[in-house]
Every structure is written in C-alpha cells, then in structure tokens.
Amino acid sequence: MSTAPRILVAEEPAAFAAFRDALTSSYVLVHAATLDEALAALSDPPALVVCGCHFDEGRMYDLLRHLRSNPQLRATCPSWGALHPDRLLDGALYESVKIAVRALGGNAFVDLLRWQKRWGGAEAAHRLTHLVETLIKGSPADTGWTGDSG
C-alpha cells in the first residue's frame, strides 16, 4: 500500500508526462484526460489537483469551478493551473489565464516551460516539487502568483 500523496493531474497526455517527469519526489499520480474522468477521480479526494489550461479542450475552468463549489474539496484539496510544457502563451493571454485561475480558487499557477527556460530543467523540477509539497502540506504557496514565478 502506497503512502505517497495522491495527485489528480487533469491534463493532456504529453503535459501529464512532462509533469510526472519533472517531479523529484514520489507521488501517486492519477491522470484524467477528460472532465468526466477528473470528476470521477474526485470521488476519492486527492491531496492535490493539477489542471492544465489545455485540459479537455479548455475545461480547466469547469474543473476549477467544480472544486470551488464543493465545500469539502475546497477545504481539503488545493489546486493549481498549469500550462502545457511545449506551448508558450503571449504575455497578455498568459496573464489572463493566471488571473482566471486565481479568481476560480486555484492556489497557484505554474508555467513549467517558462520555469525551465528561466532556471533550467533541474531547478524548475526542484521548484515544482517544492510547490507540490507546500500545497499538499496546506501551507500557502510561496510561488505561483508573482510575476517572477510564472
């Protein structure tokens, strides 16, 4: 039986693989490629939900709304938005997605590709894993909302 925290990753397969490969600690990752799969996976609330903005043709907002509307999930299940690891958004669109994630109750926002370009793969992986651990512990995220973190 695994004691590693369970993380729901609602994302396209390529982005799921990039997230999985970037983590430097062990977690039980549950992949959901569709909103229906993600909602079904929430019947056993995970320690964390990661949802990409390209998830199920843009249904990240629907999933975040669902998390926000459910008091049990909102109280026990931190979430964040993430961007696809091989697609950069222009500055204005990037900022609008970040604002929307925050407005819908996301606890953090990560653009893994920007992190990798800024700090290199190893440092980006370290920062990503640190953010995951911080959110799972219920501590406020110390990254994700400042201009330098995205």
Q: Where are the domains of the chain?
A: 6-136
Which backbone phi and psi does 7 adopt, to 5 degrees? -120, 125
Chain segment 83-92, per-residue pLDDT in tens: 666 666 677 8
Is residue 43 within 8 Å of residue 66, measured between CB atoms?
Answer: no
**Cα separation, 34 vs 40, whole angstroms:** 10
Band of residue 144 on the pLDDT scale cut at 50, 70, 90:
very low
Band of residue 112 on the pLDDT scale cut at 50, 70, 90:
confident
Question: Is residue 142 over pLDDT 60?
Answer: no
CATH 3.40.50.2300 fits 6-136, yes or no: yes
Is residue 29 within 8 Å of residue 22, measured between CB atoms?
Answer: no
pTM: 0.85
